[in-house]
Amino acid sequence: MFRGRLFGKAALLLLLFALAMGGCSSNQSPEWSPPWQEGEVTVMEIEKEGELFLVQELQVKKEGEALLFITEHLSTNFPQRRQVTLDASTLLPLRTEFDQVTEEGKSTLLAVYEDRNVGITREDENGSRQQNVTLPGRAYYDFEQLPFLVRALPLEEGWRGKLNLLVAPTARKVVSEIAVTGREEVNVPAGTFDAYIVEAAGLEQKFWVAVEPPHQLVKHENGITGLVSELAQFFPQGR
């Protein structure tokens, strides 16, 4: 049993219930639980057209009773940091903070989740803008959580479910069918892994997740940007 889990099976059953909404199910119901632990760091090398583009770090932290999923872009002239603060017992997002630097300058985004409403505030060189997004009654997760959530799914070939996501920068609501479509051996800078292939329909996202706990994110292909991420280093208890 993997030690250092932040919460038990009951909390993740809530996530499984949310994923199953909409009539999707698996023929089997294997036991599963969250694989990450506090302080965990995943380092991904991201390539664009076969060349190293940037280095990305994914971190899991605790802040009081809340859980933090943090994504940072390093080794680039245009750094970016995304942080999702979520309820550790349900994995539902509480707020998402997005800071980035582009050729146009610095910009920030804050999305605050309250019941069925999300308040989004954007700030950049052109000033501050606010927007409210109303969500349906079903549970919604922030798109920035996806690289973490795929590791906590009931990973077995043939499993599928539905996940409700909000893409905060565009205020886009997506109901994506998540499916474990296969299993293969993957070679990445961190080594060779036996991995499940997880695809998110409608988002053009494809993930390879290690079969063995703690189910590291081994590889990610973004069909929209063409970026390919591969696992370079993994620190289960932090650096």
Q: Does the pLDDT of residue 12 top 80, yes or no?
A: no
- Residue 210 sits at the vertex; the CA angle it makes with 204 and 214, to the nearest 5 degrees, is 120
Q: Does the pLDDT of residue 31 top 50, yes or no?
A: no
- pTM of the entire structure? 0.83
Q: Does the pLDDT of residue 10 top 60, yes or no?
A: no
Q: DSSP letters of 7-73?
A: S-HHHHHHHHHHHHTTT---S---------BTT-EEEEEEEETTEEEEEEEEEEEEETTEEEEEEEE
Tokens of 174: 């997506």
Confidence at 33, pLDDT banded by 50, 70, 90: low
Q: Does the pLDDT of residue 205 top 80, yes or no?
A: yes
The structural architecture, per CATH, of the domain 9-235 is: Clam (2.50)
Confidence at 89, pLDDT banded by 50, 70, 90: confident
- Distance (Å, rounded) from C-alpha 133 to C-alpha 93? 14
Domain locations along the chain: 9-235
